[in-house]
Amino acid sequence: MVTRNDVARLAGTSPAVVSYVINNGPRPVSESTRSRVLAAVAELGYRPNAVARSLRSRRTWTIGVISSDGASGKSPFFGEFARACEDAAWECGYSVLLGNSAEDPRRAEGYVRTFLERQVDGLVLMRVRVGPQEVKEMEARGIPVVTIDHEAPAPFSRLAVDDEEGGFLATAHLVEHGHARIGFVGGPRTLAPVALRERGWRRALEAAGREAGESLVAEDELSLEGGYAAAMRLLGSPRRPTAVFASIDHQAIGAMRAAADLGLRVPHDVAVAGFDGAREAAYTVPGLTTIQQPIDAMARYATEILIGAVEAGGGEPVERIFPARLVTRGSCGCPEPRTAAAR
């Protein structure tokens, strides 16, 4: 069996330096030495003993990521965020365990317990609600936790996007296009991001002196199908809106299909805007105007502060709200980029 001493001998260095390279620390190693060690590892086919490594460091070099909808595909946010977390963790020498609670609190609590039993070094909770018992257990274990939500139990870190401002930006842009009746396609108001995006929609309409009554709101599930069903109700009404802002991009895409099935052209008869910055938004016809969430930046920051707390043995909780950005395309009446790649 190939050992660390064999790698050190071939690379012309010490076993300790080999350990620093493989474990990304704790001491810095020059690039030339790192290259020699990695070349020796590849040539000899060396595989470090993960169990021994964990016993020495008292870490498992794993992070648990639990989302409320990571696999169903209803919202692209969760999948893209989890992928970005995994990329950032991999660069730091960590692996990711992923759990999808499917919006079921009992399932979320089960994942928390399972990941704690597997002795993960930290947890990222993506819009996941867990009970007080699980919160106490996470605190008792002393592992760092980062929540991606507008609410977080102390002493956990909290990151979120400015959902209300994003809703305001999208709706104000539709107002600038001359729309007086702008509908809102939303989801359950018990979900903070949905409620805040609706608040931004309402604030923009009130600031412009436009109507913002309940007749302009249609609530359904956060999915393509939910967006389609909600938009069919709004756009099929006698006093239909001339524009629609949807709380997620998949709902907006469903709304565009509803408009087509009702014989309405986007954006000539009805303008549409969404929220997320999903990749699919650049490939609809016309392209979907959306509020871009900084998913990669948020995921990388969440992973970095989590790993930083792991390696420092703790730290103060962090709170940060990320700004949202309006990305205009043809669905609102703005000029369309020449190609999807440019969107």
Q: What is the CATH number of the domain that holds 87?
A: 3.40.50.2300
pLDDT band at 55 (very low <50, low <70, confident <90, very high): very low
In this predicted structure, the answer to whether residue 51 has a pLDDT above a threshold of 50 is: no
CA-nearest of 190, 180, 243, 244 to 221 is 190
Q: Is the pTM of this model over 0.85?
A: no
Q: Considering the chain, what is the average pLDDT of its residues?
A: 88
Distance CA 225, CA 250 (A): 8
CB 289 within 8 A of CB 329: yes
The sign of the dihedral angle between the CA atoms of 207, 211, 213, 218 is negative
Q: Half-sphere exposure of 118 toward its Cβ, with a 13 Å CA cutoff?
A: 18
Residues 6+ apart with CB under 8 A from 268: none
Instruction: Based on the fold, state whether residues 158 and 302 are members of the same structural domain.
Output: yes
From residue 310, alpha-carbon distances to 73, 143, 258, 302, 304 in Å are 31, 7, 48, 12, 10
Residue percentage of the chain with pLDDT more than 90: 56
Residues 92 and 201 in one domain: no
Q: Could you tell me how many residues make up the chain?
A: 343
* Same domain, residue pair 286 and 188: yes
Q: Left if phi > 0, otherwise alpha if psi is -120 to 50, otherwise beta: which for 204?
A: alpha
14/116 same-domain check: no
- 155 and 303 co-located in one domain: yes
How many domains, the chain? 3
Within a domain: 192: yes
pLDDT band at 73 (very low <50, low <70, confident <90, very high): low
50 — pLDDT class (breaks 50, 70, 90) = low
36/102 same-domain check: no
Q: Are residues 256 and 220 in the same domain?
A: yes
Instruction: Give the domain extent around 147.
Output: 62-162+295-321
Q: Looking at the predicted structure, is the pLDDT value of residue 99 above 70?
A: yes
Residue 105 pLDDT greater than 50, yes or no: yes
Mark whether 175 and 265 lie in a shared domain: yes
Q: What is the pLDDT of residues 226-285, one digit of tens each?
A: 999 999 999 999 999 999 999 999 999 999 999 999 999 999 999 999 999 988 999 999
17-34 pLDDT tens trace: 887 787 666 677 888 888
Average pLDDT value for residue range 165-185? 98
**Rounded (5°) CA angle 27-31-33:** 75
Q: How far out from the chain centre does Cα 224 lie?
A: 18
- For residues 339 and 342, what is the distance between their CA atoms, to the nearest angstrom? 5
CA gap 168, 337 in Å, rounded: 24
Coil, strand or helix at 63:
strand
Q: Residue 327 domain-assigned?
A: no
Same domain, 169 and 278: yes
Whether residues 191 and 44 fall in one domain: no
31 found inside a domain: yes
Amino acid at 160: A
